[in-house]
Amino acid sequence: MNVPVAHFLVVAVMLFAIGSVGVLVRRNALVIFMSIELQLNAVNLALVAFSRMHGRLDGQVLAFFSMVVAAAEVVVGLAIIVVVYRRRRSADVDDVSLLRW
């Protein structure tokens, strides 16, 4: 059964929106990271959908790249959060606001 491409795109947009809201609203660093992962997955979905639409593999290749980068970024980000948590006993991002005027 042929699912129209538009459906995939709409899902991707909704995922991205949910992820954005999560990044902006939540205070826990880990939850923010999960939201970022949501955004990235939304993008991957969109890429694959477009790849299907044009009948070329470029989108899927790019999705692979995106996944690799996401993995690397998660490693670094979680390491930072762990260090910060050890110092401050809290994962609240509003607390790390020393780089201000």
Tell me the site size for another protein, rule CB under 8 A. 14
Residues 6+ apart with CB under 8 A from 28: 91, 92, 93
Does 101 interact with another protein (rule: CB under 8 A)?
Answer: yes
Q: HSE of 93 in the Cβ direction (CA atoms, 13 Å)?
A: 13
Is the dihedral angle over the CA atoms 52, 53, 55, 56 positive or is it negative? negative
Does 96 interact with another protein (rule: CB under 8 A)?
Answer: yes
Does 76 interact with another protein (rule: CB under 8 A)?
Answer: no
d(CA 96, CA 100): 10
Does 94 interact with another protein (rule: CB under 8 A)?
Answer: yes
8-27 positions binding another protein, by CB under 8 A: 20, 23-25, 27
Does 87 interact with another protein (rule: CB under 8 A)?
Answer: no
Task: Choose between 87 and 94: whose C-beta lies nearer to another protein.
Answer: 94
- Are the C-beta atoms of residues 39 and 23 closer than 8 Å to each other? yes
Task: Choose between 2 and 18: whose C-beta lies nearer to another protein.
Answer: 18
Q: What residue ranges bind another protein (CB under 8 A)?
A: 20, 23-25, 27, 32, 93-94, 96-101
